[in-house]
């Protein structure tokens, strides 16, 4: 609920904020008067009148526009001087998501969030945990002759991400790991040798990196999540196929963090049980 402010206090704050905006923007009373379309004496009165009156909405809006601040901020209805459009532009960005392993944008976000907990719902198995053989099977058809070069270039980034001082919580639907193990759906045609190698790689990484790396499996019949990465308190990024949607405002980050924590809390298999489940899958598909 908005805190009620006494009229005199609001008027005094208006004068202070208007004077600050003029000082920050190096705008004189005469210049502001010309932009707003009023006499200089009107601007002078707005800055010096010690009463409780505020200018009309047209003058407030024109002053805000000329000074590059929001009318809400001038009237103490907001603590942020930016306009609504500027706030939206700063809190939401849309960038292309190329068909690549670790593109520069994703790597920049990981570097920015180094040291924070990173929560991750991948679109498939997490690239940072895949074997080179699986990466080649998955990406070579799309990257063509550059596949080997792209995979080689990405390996340093993947190694950095695994070794960064960040905790990783990864939540995946149960069917994803089962589909991979049995080479169905997205993984149709993947050879048994590649699957067994990947399961062994998973087991090795979960043993080496636990508890900094924790993987949870949830039942998609009960829970759903779009692919999303939450970079600590800094941002959350949704993968929408051809683009990333990145949010930086606190409320949305907290909302999607709670969503992720629900996936973890209600997971059918916790990080402690994940290795046992992998061994069971390995045995089921013919591994020794």
> What is the pLDDT averaged over residues 30-38?
91
Distance from C-alpha of 94 to C-alpha of 155, rounded to nearest angstrom? 26
The pTM of this model reads 0.68
**Lowest-confidence range among 34-43, 50-59, 119-128, 248-257?**
50-59
> Is the pLDDT reported for residue 191 higher than 90?
yes
pLDDT given for residue 87 in this prediction: 46
Contact 170, 126 (CB under 8 A): yes
Least confident stretch, 11-15, 70-74, 90-94, 132-136: 90-94
Average pLDDT over residues 33-47: 90
For the chain, what is the largest distance between any 2 Cα atoms, rounded to a whole number of angstroms?
89
pLDDT, residue 261, reads 96
Q: Which residue has the higher pLDDT, 64 or 97?
A: 64
> How far is C-alpha 242 from the geometric centre of its chain's CA atoms?
16
Provide the mean pLDDT of the chain: 85
Residue 262 has pLDDT above 80, yes or no: yes
| Tens-place pLDDT, residues 199-257 | 999 999 888 889 989 999 999 999 999 999 999 999 999 988 888 888 888 888 999 99
Q: In sequence order, what are the residues at sequence separation of 6 or more whose Cβ sits closer than 8 angstroms to the Cβ of residue 69?
A: 17, 21, 81, 82, 83
DSSP 126: -
For the beta sheet containing 243-247, the strands, ordered from the edge strand earlier in sequence to the opposite edge, are 92-96, 243-247, 235-239, 228-231, 118-121, 168-173, 213-218
**Residue range 113-171, pLDDT digits in tens:** 988 999 999 999 988 888 889 988 988 777 665 666 667 666 676 677 667 778 999 99
pLDDT, residue 1, reads 41
């Amino acid at each position: 609920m908005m805190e009620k402010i006494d009229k005199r206090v609001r008027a005094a704050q208006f004068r202070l904020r208007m004077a600050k905006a003029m000082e920050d923007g190096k705008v004189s009373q005469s210049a502001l008067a010309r932009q707003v379309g009023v006499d200089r004496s009107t601007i002078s009165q707005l800055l010096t009148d010690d009463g409780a009156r505020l200018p009309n909405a047209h003058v407030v809006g024109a002053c805000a526009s000329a000074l590059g601040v929001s009318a809400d901020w001038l009237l103490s209805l907001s603590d942020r001087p930016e306009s609504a459009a500027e706030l939206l532009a700063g809190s939401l960005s849309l960038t292309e998501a190329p068909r690549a392993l670790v593109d520069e944008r994703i790597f920049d976000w990981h570097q920015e969030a180094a040291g924070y907990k990173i929560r991750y719902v991948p679109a498939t198995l997490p690239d940072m945990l895949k074997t080179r053989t699986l990466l080649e099977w998955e990406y070579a058809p799309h990257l063509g002759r550059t596949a080997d070069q792209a995979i080689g270039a990405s390996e340093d980034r993947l190694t950095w991400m695994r070794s960064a001082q960040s905790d990783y919580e990864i939540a995946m639907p149960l069917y994803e790991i089962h589909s991979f193990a049995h080479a169905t759906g997205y993984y149709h045609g993947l050879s048994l040798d590649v699957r067994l190698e990947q399961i062994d790689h998973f087991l090795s990484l979960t043993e080496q990196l636990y508890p900094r790396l924790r993987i949870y499996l949830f039942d998609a019949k009960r829970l759903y999540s779009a692919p999303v990465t939450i970079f600590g308190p800094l941002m959350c990024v949704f993968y929408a196929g051809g683009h990333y949607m990145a949010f930086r405002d606190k409320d949305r980050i907290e909302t999607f963090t709670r969503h992720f924590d629900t996936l973890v809390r209600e997971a059918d298999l916790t990080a402690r049980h994940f290795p046992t489940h992998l061994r069971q899958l390995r045995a089921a598909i013919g591994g020794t």
